[in-house]
Chain A
């Protein structure tokens, strides 16, 4: 295979320069022995195989039963590799990745906390991993009990009478929340047409509203980064189905007028949707259901520590107020005496909005989330919020002055800085983020929320130690100093990664979205 990655030894030159942990005593990123690794389709050899399977019994000839036009032979282009080749391939790929297990990952609004290893062992118990979703109730009581207990606890933690468990991720939870809101209004004779969304919202909010046929009205947050009751009052009318609020919002600021805002919306017959992406800040401290929220999705992969997995699977159960219970999608798990039962027949819930995911939801994530709740208990859950907020405020205090804080308002679990103090030297948020990689940290979320130009959104989570935060702070301060002294070094970053900055424009202009024989990307 002729060097498909285009790597040349000369490319190593210069990579050794730059942020060096030995020089400045910061976090410890050095270059390990990272191997170049082609695609699986570019390696192997004809005839190799990486599995061991029982033989195909004689006497079964597909061609005798299935029309020839519907049969295919071996698939050209499939790799042919032995097991060790596959093991090395994916081991090497993993080494090109940064994960929470590698180091600090303060990706704001994503709640990159430690994912307990024991949860992995529990989810792999054959009774869970091997349970078919359509097992008769008598054969699946353990799974149903777990879903039931998790539903009860999630509802308690967020202050709702019930929760929908099936949504596959937070965004699908939003979709479900808005479907129920729509059904609620339809049942009252008018679906209404508008949804109010503050300018600090995640992009999924307007997308979910549009998906349900609602037009969105953007609300401006005030100079303190909060949504103000008068802004809501002005926009609120009887054609507004709901307002979607993230609390704390994406600036990390608690929407302290939430109760007044909810009252304004409720007075005109609207409902209040809570985006639970930032729920980690409130565990055991305050409950959205007590603040006037009518519905909120939980992101189990954020607050309840199920692994993010390189982009899912997530899990997005949705807590609902009393008024929305009739509209919950199916299934729901009920307890009858000592027996648990899945309700799947709309005849039992005639107002249900239907079903959004095949079967019952991401059970694998339920097992992990329940394990976390069981290990933490009431005190531990509250400690999650306390330490997450302490960590974020500590980082905020230590970085203030080195980076511009666009909002002085108190923050909870995350803090948003921007690149205002660095811009004059020509250094952008992207440069700061890329340089941070050389220091051995995942960058914060960048350029979000949209209300802050050049935002750097930092969420440390509760599982990080003071030492890790101190190293991060030292790295950030060093970068702030470097942006004045040697801005060019930041432009060149990252230098210690397996790849330098990638050409995203080219990727979009000339899309190459799969391997094809002889593929060349140069």
Chain B
């Protein structure tokens, strides 16, 4: 076994030093009746050559020959090969939580850079060192709001990603906090009158997608103002972070907390995970922030260096009084995003964002030409809901041609008759104008 370096001679010598005659003697502390007296029932061992063939066979049963027209919270973008080559450096890859900062400055400085990128994208002052994903980051943001305001209700837009809402309700099930969901209007934006009516002196937070689940750029400034008037925190959730290269920063529009995922930068869709969740806050909320955070300091000789800090909020110090139970987060996925954002930089990010907006427009134009209008009238970025008649039938038909067409919105909104024919689809820089044209034609056929 290539990962087990022990020769029979090594084992013999080591057992002698331990003063036992066999390895099984080392397990004496496990009562005999609790030991497993048979081999595990898992497939027989295999070699690397067979392993590769087996996994290639499995991978080939996932159809990925065309870039997916599905977004809905996970976005396939071009990841420059340089990202992966740097990411695979073993010193990053095989390190753990930087508990010993003198030999973890690489991880720590990169996390500090991640935090800075998140604050630049969101327009907020503070970011933590990453979360599991956008959904749990949203739930953690709401819990932060209930702790901060000592209130027990949260008002959520129905146009927030349904998976984020599901995770939120799972997280809140044991706290007893109330979730009130407000509807969306015909423009696909949150119904502001309903939102205004729902916010009261029990409301800890208002949560909106930005852009929302329908790809629509929601009414964040208005919603944030309503939250502020009610003494609640405004939380924006972004799953397509490339949009933040074109759209005004949530913090600049009144959001107190911005969450989501930066999966769009440096990370493949990977069947949904891992993804680098993020959580950014206004300065005054820092003591309630969940998760790890890197900070700058100096070493004994006065040189700048980085450490994990403000750990008195965290579970390994505060135990049951911690702000969250989160421990390991999404370090490597965050590093991938950090590398990609460094490559993009100021000009590259603006370019990528404009390119995505333009591809979204090409998709809308091509669909319009093919006879499919938009479900919602509100402005969009690179994703939109189209009226295609029977959305599920379109998905099934295109699947046979190896094209992932999008998702039927009725899957998440079965009770809304407006969603019956709605297909949510995206176009990114991976979708050439020709492919977009082919897609629109295929939907019509």
- Interface contact B98-A310, CB-CB below 8 Å: yes
B23–A48 CB distance below 8 A? no
Bound: A509/B125 CA distance, A: 17
Contact A135–B346 (Cβ < 8 Å)? no
Q: Given contacts A66-B379, A209-B320, is CB(A466)–CB(B14) below 8 Å?
A: yes
Q: Does B104 contact A (CB under 8 A)?
A: yes
B333 touches A434 (CB 8 A): no
A96-113 vs B, Cβ < 8 Å mask (1 yes, 0 no): 111111100101001011
B332 at the A/B interface (Cβ < 8 Å)?
yes
Q: Which of B139-171 contact A (CB under 8 A)?
A: 161, 163-164, 166-167, 169-171
A285 close to chain B: CB less than 8 A = yes
Q: Is the CB of A97 within 8 A of B95?
A: yes
Is A132 a contact partner of B404 (Cβ separation < 8 A)? yes
Q: Nearest A residue to B325 by beta-carbon distance?
A: A207
Chain A interface size band reads 35 or more
Spot the interface stretch: B192-200, B225-233, B352-360, B437-445. Answer: B352-360
Contact status A353-B170, CB under 8 Å: yes
Which of B116-124, B180-188, B201-209, B415-423 binds A?
B116-124
Are A290 and B34 closer than 8 Å at their CB atoms? Answer: yes
Pair A314/B328 contact, Cβ less than 8 Å: yes
Interface check A1, CB cutoff 8 A: no
Chain B residues with CB under 8 Å of A215's CB are 320
**CB neighbors of B among A432-475 (8 A):** 433-434, 437, 442-443, 445-446, 448, 462-466
Contact yes or no, A499 B105, CB < 8 A: yes
Which residues of A are found within 8 Å of B125, using beta-carbon distances? 514
Min Cβ gap A14→B in Å is 9
A135: contacting residue among B11, B46, B70, B429, CB under 8 A: B70
Residue of B23, B63, B303, B347 touching A139 (CB-CB under 8 A): B63
Size category of the B interface is: 35 or more
Within the complex, what minimum Cβ distance (angstroms) separates B368 from chain A? 14
Q: Which residues of B contact A521 (CB under 8 A)?
A: 296-298, 304
Given contacts A107-B99, A307-B93, A377-B46, contact A169 B350 (CB under 8 A): no
Say whether B284 faces chain A, with CB atoms less than 8 Å apart.
no
Query: What residues on B are CB-neighbors of A122 within 8 Å?
Result: 51-52, 55
Report whether B351 and A56 are in contact in the complex, using a CB–CB cutoff of 8 Å: yes
Any B CB within 8 A of the CB of A348? no
With an 8 A cutoff between CB atoms, is A28 at the interface?
Answer: no
Whether B93 pairs with A99 at a CB distance below 8 angstroms is yes
**Residue contact A51 to B348, C-beta cutoff 8 Å:** yes
Give Cα distance in the complex from A80 to B344, angstroms: 8
B217 touches A70 (CB 8 A): yes
Q: Is B48 part of the binding interface, using a Cβ–Cβ cutoff of 8 Å?
A: yes
User: With A258-B34, A363-B273, A463-B5 in contact, is A511–B295 under 8 Å at CB?
Assistant: yes
Report yes or no: A309 in contact with B63, Cβ–Cβ below 8 A. Answer: no
Inter-chain CA distance A462–B51, complex, in Å, is 22
| Bound Cα distance A176, B341 (Å) | 33
The answer to whether B29 and A412 have CB atoms under 8 Å apart is: yes
Q: Contact check: which of B45, B129, B379 meets A376 at CB < 8 Å?
A: B45
Contact (Cβ within 8 A) B136 A212: no
Check B264 for interface membership: any CB of A closer than 8 A: no
CB within 8 Å of A: which B350-396 residues: 350-352, 354-355, 357-358, 361-362, 379-380, 395-396
Within 8 A of B (CB), among A355-378: 355-365, 367, 371, 373-378
A404-424 interface code vs B (CB 8 A; 1 in, 0 out): 000001101000000000000
Interchain residue pairs with CB less than 8 A apart (12): A90-B339, A129-B270, A133-B273, A135-B63, A182-B174, A202-B316, A285-B30, A309-B95, A311-B111, A312-B331, A355-B135, A358-B163
